[in-house]
Each structure stands twice: as C-alpha cells, then as structure tokens.
Amino acid sequence: MKMTVSQAMVECLKAEGIKVVYGYPGAAICPFYDALLSAEKDIRNILVRHEANGGHAASGYARITGKPAVCIATSGPGAVNLITAIATAYADSIPLICITGQVNTDQIGSDVFQEADITGAAEPFVKHSYLLKDPKDVGRAFKEAFYIAGTGRPGPVLIDVPMDVQKMTLDFEYPKKVDIRSYKPTGKGNYLQVKRVTEALRSAEKPLICIGGGVFASNAQNEIVELSETLNIPVITTMMGISVFSDDNPLYVGMIGTHGMKIANYAVNACDTLFLVGARVGDRAVKTPLDLERTTKILHIDIDPAEIGKNIGADYPLVGDAKQVLRQMLDYIKKNPEGCADHSGWLRQIEENKVPTEFAQPVKGTVNPKEFLQKLAERMPANVNICADVGQNQIWSSRYYFKRGGRFLTSGGMGTMGYSVPCAVGAKMADPSRPTIAICGDGGFQMNFMELATAVQYGVDIKVIVMTNTRLGMVRELQTIGYNDRQTGVFLDGSPDFVKLAAAYGIPAIRVNDEKSEKEAIERLAEDKGLLLAEVVVDKDFPTL
C-alpha cells in the first residue's frame, strides 16, 4: 500500500503489537508524530518530561511485558538526552526500540541546527542501530530491530530517521519473516553439556544456584524454581535476580554482593559448586571472582557466550537460553532420577549461620527506613512491583522490602539515579492490576520528579516513596568511610518541601517522621486509590547496612 515512511513506521509498531510509546517531540520527528496522531486509537502517545525518562518508562514497560517497548526523541538534544536511558537499558539487557528524528539526509554531516550523530554516539550502548536513508528499508529495519532487541540477550536498538525520509512515500508491506544471516541466537543447550552440568550440580555436596537478570530476560522463573526445589538446592541472586524467588521460599538465601546479605555471601564462600544462571558476575556482585574460581566448581549458563569466562572462569560453560536449558535439565532429571546428593546438611549449615535482623531505634523525628519497608511489605498485597532508584534507598529496598510475587525493578548495571519514577510509570501502565511503588532518595527524586506530571496527566496510579536524608546518602557514606568523613558535594540543602511539591502537582502526600505517621502512611500506601507520595524522613547518618 502507498503511504509515507512515517505512516509505515506506525504500521510497523502496530504490527508488533505496540500499544503505547513514550516520547518527546521536536521538529525532526514531527512527521512521525503526525502519523502517530492519526493512529491514536491504537497507540497511546505519552509525553514524558525528559527523553531519558521516556527511555526509563519504556524500560519499566518492557520489563513487565517481556517485550520490546518504544521510546521516541527528536534529533540533536532530544536524541542525546535519550542516551542515559539507552545505556541503562543496555547494561541491564532490556529490550527497547529507540526512534529518533534526524536532520534531512542532504544535511547530515554539515553540523546544521540540532544535528547529532546519534547512531555514532549511542554505539557503545546499543545492541544494534539503523540510520534509515532509503524509504524502502523501513519495514526490514523495524522488523529486524524488534527481532534483535527481543531475542538472544535482549537490548536496545536505535532507529534514526532523517526528517525528509519520514516524509517520503513508498509502497509498504510489513515483512512477515526476518532472516539475518549473521544473527542466529542460540536457544537450546548442547545436550551433552546439559547432562554434564546437571550431574555436576546434583552430585555436589554443597551446590548453590545464583540467579541473575537473565532469568527474567528469558522468562525462566518457573523453571529455576522447579529445578532448585527438585534438587533441594539453595538459591542466591544478584540485584538483577531479586524477586525471581519469593523471599519466603525456604530455599532462598538472599542477594549477594557488596551490599548483599551476609548469609548470601557466606553461602557463596561456603559452597563447593556454584551454578550461575543468567548472571554475569559483575564486580558489585562478586568482588573477588578469581578466588572463587579457584575454590569452587563453576557451572555457567548464559545466552551471551561473551559473558561466559569474561569475569569468572567456568568449569562447565553452557551457552543457551536459560528457559530452554533449564527445561532440558528438568527433562533429563525426570528421565534419570537417580544421583541427587542429599543437600539437607548443607541447607542446615546455611540456616545455622543466619543472623536475625534487628532494627535500630530511629533518631527522634525520623524513621528507620529498613523497618518502614519491612512493615510496608507486610501490609501490601503480594504482587506489588517495586521500582527502586539508586543509592542507600535502593539497597534498603532490595534487602528489607520482602518480595512475594511482585517484581523488583532497578537499574542494576548502570546504577542510574532517577530511574525509579519513570520506570514505575511504565511498569504500572504495562500491568495496571499490580500496585506499583517507586522508592527513591531525595537526590534521585530531584532527577526525576518531573515525571509526576506525566503520571498525573495520564492517570497512572503509582505510589512514590522519597527517603529524605538531606544528603546524597550513599556518597556521603563513602566519604565517611573512605575519605575520613570529609563530606563534600553531598548536601541537598535547598531541596523543596516534598509534601508541598506533591501538592503543587495535585498529588496527596504524607510526611513520615514518627510511629503514628508511619502507620498512617503504610495504611494509605496500601489502600489509597490514585497517586500518593510519602516522604520518609531518614537520619542523615543512617548507614546502608
């Protein structure tokens, strides 16, 4: 059918089942926006308040749906603003389709107004990118982009479209098939290796399963739970793997790493066989991979061959999609049920080394953020999605908000402040049936609170918790510990009154600074319909751990 490239782009999105896009327009993307307007019945066009937040919102949406989500920016500054979100998505393997406007084809390379080489600038952070110069490539580029973003190890794909190209016409038909000769992601694992890994795992005396974000990327939550329960093997996660296991599963030990649970780090050091599933052994998760490699048998599944052997040597490497490989392992076990060692002694050993959590009495006029989150989790329904920002608030959310079926979403790889609120907007829109809470610090909140307007405008019912310690808390703590308490550049004086700020957006808000307000806030976070902001006042010196 004859149509403009812009209309064809919209048809591509429709064909991919896209229902919502997050964007910010400008001259160079106007032809596409015009076409989007004509399709508003099919595709909701959400105006975010900053391009990076559009990318983060799409990220939240993609993580909940498990499919690529779309964000849009104009050329030059718009595209460049988007880079933080692209890099954030890349670091956590989140599938995004990022569409940017570009200056006219004949002006490319001449530094005209709002020209930026965005495919060049974003290259380190994209799985792939396209600069569309020929109208007849539009269908193939979109088809490939969705395929590349959503398969294998997922990631962001950028499509840059010059304004003149957007206006050209073509005879359009969306390709039915995609075939990229140089891109054939592995699905199933090599049968023999599957067998070896399974035997090594179940015959081990002290095996431990370590789950990373790859388990979500491959939608392998059920399989990994089934495997660990079948073999009675304890489980730890990286920050990206949090919420695969329910916190109350007796096999779940906790998150590892610099800010992880003591008991989880204990288990890593005490195990004799470590089974890594979609975890890349990042430096925040495992500080000394070389020591671990020496003392422990490493079994490693990843869909990205480059992750195997990158940070830690693997005795048993296994390339494949986690869901398929775990299914293969379960099938193998079903057919060959003998050979599982008794792990109950090992589980008891872990149990005996657990230390009960004790909460310190908070300074007057503040609350203990850990205790607050624990109480909140007890009161909230099980399926809440938690979007944690970066800093102390993130660690508290990861450790003390007990997950029982909801997702825990955070920027694990890049640690991008400001991720939480836009992510929550996207996550809530992807699944309105789940209560969705953004948790951030007063620093991070001031990087993203403009998205309250987006939430108000489109009626996105999220709850926002701002933990105000009037400091960039995590950096303050780093300075306290590592720089002889020479605190600098971490004071958030001049911050607004967050309760009043919420009021300015027409959002009800409550300040939490004693037991009574704590109770009330928890009740309202659980029960109130519509947006709500809770400012949780935290002592400026409150430690992370």
Ligand X SMILES: Cc1ncc(C[n+]2csc(CCOP(=O)(O)OP(=O)(O)O)c2C)c(N)n1
CB of 284 or CB of 297, closer to ligand X: 284
Q: Give least dist CB 421 to ligand X, A.
A: 12
Strand locations in 314-369 (E): 316-319
Q: Give least dist CB 312 to other proteins, A.
A: 12
Residue 320's nearest CA partner among 275, 273, 277, 274 is 277
CB of 214 or CB of 473, closer to ligand X: 473
Task: For CA atoms 478, 482, 484, 487, give the dihedral sign.
Answer: negative
In 10 A of CB 44, how many CB atoms? 14
Q: Give least dist CB 150 to ligand X, A.
A: 27
Query: Is 87 a residue that touches other proteins (CB under 8 A)?
Result: no
Report the partner that residue 109 touches, choosing among ligand X, other proteins, none (CB closer than 5 to 8 A by kind): none
Residues in contact with ligand X by the rule CB under 6 A: 390-393, 415-417, 440-444, 467, 469, 471-475
Report the partner that residue 184 touches, choosing among ligand X, other proteins, none (CB closer than 5 to 8 A by kind): other proteins
Query: Is 305 a residue that touches other proteins (CB under 8 A)?
Result: yes
539 neighbors 363 (Cβ within 8 angstroms): yes
**Which residue's structure tokens are 């709500």?**
532
CB of 128 or CB of 399, closer to other proteins: 128
Q: Give least dist CB 308 to ligand X, A.
A: 28
Residue 93's nearest CA partner among 123, 118, 59, 122 is 59
Q: Give least dist CB 151 to other proteins, A.
A: 11
Q: Give least dist CB 58 to ligand X, A.
A: 18
Residue 52's nearest CA partner among 384, 392, 408, 411 is 411
Binding pattern to other proteins, positions 334-373, x when CB under 8 A?
A: ----------------------------------------
Query: Is 304 a residue that touches other proteins (CB under 8 A)?
Result: yes
Strand locations in 217-356 (E): 235-237, 252-255, 273-277, 297-302, 316-319
φ/ψ of 157, rounded to 5, equals: -125, 135
Distance CA 254, CA 263 (A): 7
**Which residue's structure tokens are 């793997």?**
241
CB of 309 or CB of 543, closer to other proteins: 309
Query: Is 537 a residue that touches other proteins (CB under 8 A)?
Result: no
Q: Give least dist CB 409 to ligand X, A.
A: 16
Q: Residue of minimal CB distance from ligand X? A: 441
Report the partner that residue 484 touches, choosing among other proteins, ligand X, none (CB closer than 5 to 8 A by kind): none
Give Cβ neighbours of residue 176 (< 8 Å, ≥ 6 apart).
none
CB of 524 or CB of 540, closer to ligand X: 540
Among 109, 309, 432, 459, binds other proteins (CB under 8 A): 309
Q: What is the Cβ-side half-sphere exposure of residue 244, based on CA atoms within 13 angstroms?
A: 37
CB of 57 or CB of 149, closer to other proteins: 149
Among 14, 49, 195, 310, binds other proteins (CB under 8 A): 310
- Can you spell out the DSSP letters for 181-242? TT-----SPPHHHHHHHHHHHHH-SSEEEEE-THHHHTT-HHHHHHHHHHHT--EEE-GGGT
**Which residue's structure tokens are 């088809």?**
143
Binding pattern to other proteins, positions 99-128, x when CB under 8 A?
A: --------------------xx--xx--xx
Query: Is 149 a residue that touches other proteins (CB under 8 A)?
Result: no
- Can you spell out the DSSP letters for 126-153? -SEEEE--SGGGHHHHHHHHHHHHHSSS
Q: Give least dist CB 305 to other proteins, A.
A: 5
Residues that bind other proteins (CB under 8 A): 119-120, 123-124, 127-128, 131, 148, 180-184, 304-306, 309-310
